[in-house]
């Protein structure tokens, strides 16, 4: 049994049982090599779910399995073993403030004892990928918000994990960079067949990237839609002009209770 299995996971942050839980008996199975996008209103529990899969949060009840092995409640060693192949891009960047962009990208490579020259090469390559070759020597506090976010993306990509958990990774970058990063991400995914769980607030982004889009609602946090996207790969940016694409986004929007955002429609 490979892939990620979230098995009727409930998460309560406060013990008050009268309130709806943050996550309410969530069940979700993600196959090996699948690209899943997670949509939902702010505060519905997307980050919490992702953190649970990433082993950063314990479920109140239920369990998370990675490649068939219990993650929640596992021993430290097992947990580390399971998470060794999980890359995480956090919603709020967490670069080491004393390391420059390049050295930050190299962190997971250092952990994996990649030789120094190799490390440098990969880190530089990754920085180039996110368009930050110029900023390699800058400390995090010298970077703009979007640049910090891109460094964090480069870091997660650097060590080529099998599973990639990404929490609104492109929230602070401009549309052009976002497009190019979307294309890159698709390319990498197709090449390496990673399992990706991708949180976003952009419906088109979700449809463009994902095999499956999962929509959540809030209070209690539940899955309200689990939609397969059948648009063939590789998808070019033009794919979003197809009927299929438009139908899918419309359907997702209805589940998000958005109706169709008139403004977005116009774009």
Partner 1 sequence: MKPPGRNWRRAIDRSLVWWSTPLVLVLLYLIWKAYIAITGVSPFVLPGPAAVFEALKEQVTDPYIWKVHVWATFTETLWGLGIAIVIGVTLGFLIGKSRVLARVLKPFIVATQVTPKVALAPLFVLWFGFGPGSKIALAAIVSFFPIMTNTAFGIQSLPRSLREMGTSVGARTWYRFGRIELPYTLAYILAGLEVAIVLATIGAIVGEYLGGDKGLGRYALNLQNNLQIDMLFGSIVLMAAYGLVLYGIVVALKYFLIPWHESVRVLREDQI
- Its sign, for the CA torsion 148, 151, 157, 158, is negative
User: Nearest distance from residue 198's CB to ligand ATP, in Å?
Assistant: 13
- Given a contact cutoff of 8 angstroms between Cβ atoms, the answer to whether 14 and 64 are in contact is no
Per DSSP bridges, beta strands 195-199 and 163-167 are parallel
- Given a contact cutoff of 8 angstroms between Cβ atoms, the answer to whether 197 and 164 are in contact is yes
For the window 124-143, what string marks contact with ligand ATP as x by the rule CB under 6 A? -----------x--x--xxx
User: Nearest distance from residue 212's CB to partner 1, in Å?
Assistant: 23
CA 72/CA 58 separation, integer angstroms: 6
Distance of CA 202 to the CA centre of its chain: 13
Per DSSP bridges, beta strands 4-11 and 61-66 are antiparallel
Give me the DSSP letters along 102-166. Answer: HHHHHHHHHHTT--HHHHHHHHHHHHHHTT-GGGTT--GGGS-HHHHHHHHHHHHHHT--SEEEE
Which CB atom, from 45 or from 55, has the smaller least distance to partner 1? Answer: 55
CA 237/CA 180 separation, integer angstroms: 9
Q: What does the angle CA 239 – CA 164 – CA 83 come to, to the nearest 5 degrees? A: 165
40 binds a second copy (CB under 8 A): yes
State which of residues 54, 146, 161, 169 lies at the interface with a second copy (CB under 8 A). 146
Q: Which of residues 12-71 bind partner 1 (CB under 8 A)?
A: 54-59, 61-63, 70
State which of residues 18, 176, 191, 230 lies at the interface with a second copy (CB under 8 A). 176
Q: Which of residues 226-245 bind ligand ATP (CB under 6 A)?
A: none
State which of residues 182, 186, 195, 222 lies at the interface with a second copy (CB under 8 A). 182
Which CB atom, from 139 or from 250, has the smaller least distance to Mg ion? Answer: 139
Q: Which one of partner 1, a second copy, ligand ATP, none interacts with residue 262, CB within 5 to 8 A by kind? A: a second copy
Residues that bind Mg ion (CB under 5 A): 47, 91, 144-145
User: Which residue has the closest beta carbon to ligand ATP?
Assistant: 146
Q: Which of residues 107-136 bind partner 1 (CB under 8 A)?
A: 107-108, 110-112
State which of residues 3, 33, 62, 171 lies at the interface with a second copy (CB under 8 A). 171
144 binds ligand ATP (CB under 6 A): yes
Which CB atom, from 28 or from 65, has the smaller least distance to partner 1? Answer: 65
**Residues that bind ligand ATP in the complex, under the rule CB under 6 A:** 13, 22, 40, 42-48, 91, 135, 138, 141-147, 172
């Amino acid at each position: 049994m490979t892939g990620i299995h979230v098995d009727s996971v409930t998460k309560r942050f406060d013990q008050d049982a009268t309130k709806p839980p943050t996550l309410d008996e969530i069940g979700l199975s993600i196959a090996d090599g699948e690209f899943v996008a997670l949509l939902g209103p702010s505060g519905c529990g997307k980050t919490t779910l992702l953190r649970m899969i990433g082993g950063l949060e314990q479920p109140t009840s239920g369990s998370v399995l990675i490649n068939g092995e219990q993650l929640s409640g596992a021993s430290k060693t097992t947990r580390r073993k399971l998470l060794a192949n999980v890359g995480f891009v956090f919603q709020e960047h967490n670069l080491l403030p004393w390391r420059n962009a390049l050295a930050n990208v190299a962190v997971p490579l250092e952990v994996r004892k990649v030789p120094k020259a190799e490390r440098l090469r990969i880190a530089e390559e990754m920085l180039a990928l996110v368009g930050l070759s110029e900023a390699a020597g800058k400390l995090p506090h010298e970077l703009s918000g979007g640049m910090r976010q891109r460094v964090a993306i480069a870091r997660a990509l650097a060590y080529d994990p099998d599973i990639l958990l990404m929490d609104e990774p492109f929230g602070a970058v401009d549309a052009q960079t976002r497009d190019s990063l979307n294309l890159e991400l698709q390319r990498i995914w197709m090449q390496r067949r990673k399992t990706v769980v991708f949180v976003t607030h952009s419906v088109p982004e979700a449809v463009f990237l994902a095999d499956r889009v999962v929509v959540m609602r809030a209070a209690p946090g539940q899955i309200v839609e689990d939609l397969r996207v059948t648009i063939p790969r590789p998808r070019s940016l033009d794919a979003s002009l197809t009927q299929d694409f438009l139908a899918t986004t419309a359907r997702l929007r209805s589940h998000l209770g958005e109706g169709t955002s008139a403004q977005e429609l116009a774009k």
